Amino acid sequence: MRERTIAIVGGGAAGNAAARTLVGHGFEGRVLIIGETGVAPYNRTLVDKGLMTGLLTAEQTALPPAEGAERLLDTALGFDASGSSVRLASGVEVHFDAAIVATGSRPRLLDTAIPGLAHAVAAGRVTTLHSARDAEAIRDSLSSGPHRVSILGAGLVGSEAASLLREAGHQITLIARARTPLVPVLGRAIAEHVADLHRRHVTTRFGRTAAAFKPRSDRVDMLLDDGEAIESDLVIVAHGTVPSAPAPLAGRGLVVDDRLRLEGEASVYAAGGVAVLPFSDGRRLRIDHWDDAAAQGAHAARSLLHDLGRIGDPGPYGPSSRFSIRTHGTTIAGAGIAVPDAVERTASEEPLITVFETAEGTSTGVVGVNAARQIHGWSTKLHRP
Ligand SMILES: Cc1cc2nc3c(=O)[nH]c(=O)nc-3n(C[C@H](O)[C@H](O)[C@H](O)COP(=O)(O)OP(=O)(O)OC[C@H]3O[C@@H](n4cnc5c(N)ncnc54)[C@H](O)[C@@H]3O)c2cc1C
Q: What architecture is domain 109-239? A: 3-Layer(bba) Sandwich (3.50)
pLDDT at 329: 98
| Cβ(292) – ligand 1 distance below 6 Å | no
Instruction: Tell me which residue has its CA closest to atom 4 in ligand 1.
Output: 45
What pLDDT does 250 receive?
77
Residue 3 pLDDT: 82
Is the N-terminal amide bond of 351 cis, ω within 30° of 0? yes
pLDDT at 45: 98
Q: How far is the CA of 105 from the centre of ligand 1 (A)?
A: 6
Does 256 sit in the ligand 1 pocket, CB within 6 Å?
Answer: no
Q: Is the CB of 15 under 6 A from ligand 1?
A: yes
Q: 27 with 6: CB under 8 angstroms?
A: yes
Residue 91's nearest CA partner among 103, 74, 79 is: 74
Answer whether 9 contacts ligand 1 (Cβ < 6 A): yes
Closest ligand 1 atom, CA of 321? 11
The per-residue pLDDT for 269 is 98
> Which protein residue's CA is at the shortest distance from atom 15 of ligand 1?
289
Residue 270's pLDDT is 98
35 lines ligand 1 (CB under 6 A): yes
Query: Would you say the C-alpha torsion 300, 356, 162, 225 has a positive or negative sign?
Result: positive
User: Closest residue (by CA) to atom 51 of ligand 1?
Assistant: 45
- Per CATH, 5-106+242-307 and 109-239 having the same topology is answered yes
Ligand 1 center to 350 CA (angstroms) = 33
Q: Is the C-beta atom of 155 inside 6 A of ligand 1?
A: no
Say how many residues make up the chain: 385
pLDDT tens, per residue, the chain with 385 residues: 568 999 999 999 999 999 999 999 999 999 999 999 999 999 999 999 999 999 999 999 999 989 999 999 999 999 999 999 999 999 999 999 999 999 999 999 999 999 999 999 999 999 999 999 999 999 999 999 899 999 999 999 999 999 999 999 999 999 999 999 999 999 999 999 999 999 999 999 999 999 999 989 999 999 999 999 999 999 999 999 999 999 999 788 999 999 999 999 999 999 999 999 998 778 899 999 999 999 999 999 999 999 999 999 999 999 989 999 999 999 999 999 987 788 999 999 999 999 999 888 899 999 999 999 999 999 899 988 7
Q: Which atom of ligand 1 is nearest to the CA of 246?
A: 41
For ligand 1, whether the C-beta of 166 sits within 6 Å is: no
Q: Where are the domains of the chain?
A: 5-106+242-307, 109-239, 329-379
DSSP code at position 64: P
If you measure from the C-alpha of residue 317 to the centroid of ligand 1, how many angstroms do you get, rounded to a whole number?
A: 20
Q: Which fold has domain 5-106+242-307?
A: FAD/NAD(P)-binding domain (3.50.50)
Q: Which atom from ligand 1 is nearest to the alpha carbon of 48?
A: 1
Output the pLDDT for position 228.
98
**What's the rounded Cα separation, in Å, for the pair 106 and 104?**
7
Question: Kind and range of the H or E element at 160?
Answer: helix 156-167
Tell me how far the alpha carbon of residue 358 lies from the centroid of ligand 1, in angstroms.
29
What does the DSSP assignment read for 102-157? ---EEEPPPPTTSTTHHHHHHTTSEEE-SSHHHHHHHHHHTTTS--EEEEE--SHH
Q: 3 CB contacts (<8 Å, ≥6 apart)? A: 29, 30
- The CA-atom distances, in angstroms, between 281 and each of 7, 189, 359 are 32, 25, 11
* CB of 272 sitting under 6 A from ligand 1: yes
- CB under 8 Å to 103, separation ≥6 — which residues? 9, 10, 76, 244, 245, 246, 274
Beta bridge partners of 9: 34, 101
pTM, entire model: 0.96
| Cα(102) to centroid(ligand 1), Å | 9
CA 321 to chain centre: 14
Give me ligand 1 centre to Cα 290, in Å.
7
Give the atom of ligand 1 at the shortest distance from the alpha carbon of 103. 34
Give the model's pLDDT for residue 2. Answer: 65
